[in-house]
Structure 1
Amino acid sequence: MSDPSPRVVATEAALALIERLKAQHGPLMFHQSGGCCDGSAPMCWPAGELRTGGSDVKLGEIGGCPFWMSEAQFDYWRHTQLIIDVVPGRGGMFSLEGPEGVRFLTRSRLFTDEESAALSPVERGRD
């Protein structure tokens, strides 16, 4: 049974790009960047290339790929649904979609009170 209020979803364009990237690179994972070099972009990596730890939370999956975020950032975004989209332009320098001439982009919306009450707990990373 699917979550009635998933914490992260992807647009059709993002799902199509994820499928192309999986065909090229195999299983993938995402981590919502929290700043520094790549701003706050969703970063796409080959599965397991970025180690998650106790300070990360798994929000869910998009296109069959786990989507992670730092716990500190999650504390700020916990009341929003992340909507992963694709737009033209250069993305994060370490994210797999860079050579495609597009980048993943995070949009968000606040959960309703009813959706917030029905949210599933997030999975914590392991140290």
Structure 2
Amino acid sequence: MTEPMCRIDATAAAIDAMDQLAAEHGELVLHIPGGAEEAGTPMCFGAGELRVGARDVFLGTAHGVEVYEQASRPDAHFRAGWDAHLDVVPGRAPGFSLHPEDGMRFTIHDSRPADHRAGTGAEAAG
């Protein structure tokens, strides 16, 4: 496994959701699709159900669960050294994602400054 891109913490609710899903489905993996409409909405799979590809970036682990992001847009993925925060919120997860509970989905966001999100070119090296 390669070095993680960032540190990922998880709320108590996200940890409970991952524990519940792991008890039912075994080892898990989270994957953030590359499309803008799903940005920040990781899909959850049983570890054997996701084929990690060459364009997937290993972000790190949250509560022992590997987290990847599809790097389809160079300015869209997390950068080395940033902190990311995993939680659960109301809503439907995209695609074939496992759902933490009915009407809930995982969400992830980072703590980078607003000027980095805006694509101003002031992004941190990494």
- Report Cα offsets for 1:89-112 as digits up to 9, x if no partner: 22223110165221111222117x
Structure 2 residue runs of 5 or longer lacking an equivalent are 114-123
Give the deviation of 1:74 after TM superposition: 6.5
1:96 & 1:86 partners in 2: Cα distance?
Answer: 12
Structure 1 SS opposite 2:15: helix
- Report Cα offsets for 1:66-102 as digits up to 9, x if no partner: 1111234575321642211101222223110165221
Question: Which structure: greater helix fraction?
Answer: 1
Give the deviation of 1:61 after TM superposition: 0.9
Structure 1 residue runs of 5 or longer lacking an equivalent are 120-127
Segment drifting more, 24-33 vs 93-102? 93-102
The correspondence of residues 69-84 of structure 1 with structure 2, limited to 5 A, is 69-73=69-73, 75-76=75-76, 77-78=78-79, 80-84=82-86
* Count of residues in correspondence between the two structures: 110
- Report Cα offsets for 1:9-59 as digits up to 9, x if no partner: 2111101100000011111101012227x6221110000211012111211
What TM-score do the two structures reach when normalised by structure 2? 0.71
Report if aligned partners of 1:57, 1:74 keep a CA contact under 8 Å in 2. no
2:97 & 2:88 partners in 1: Cα distance?
Answer: 13
What TM-score do the two structures reach when normalised by structure 1? 0.71
Give 1:104's aligned residue: 106
What is the root-mean-square deviation in Å for CA atoms of aligned residues? 2.8
Describe the shift of the 1:75–1:48 C-alpha distance in structure 2 as closer, same or farther (beyond 3 A): farther
Give 1:85's aligned residue: 87
Report if aligned partners of 1:9, 1:82 keep a CA contact under 8 Å in 2. yes
Give 1:39's aligned residue: 38
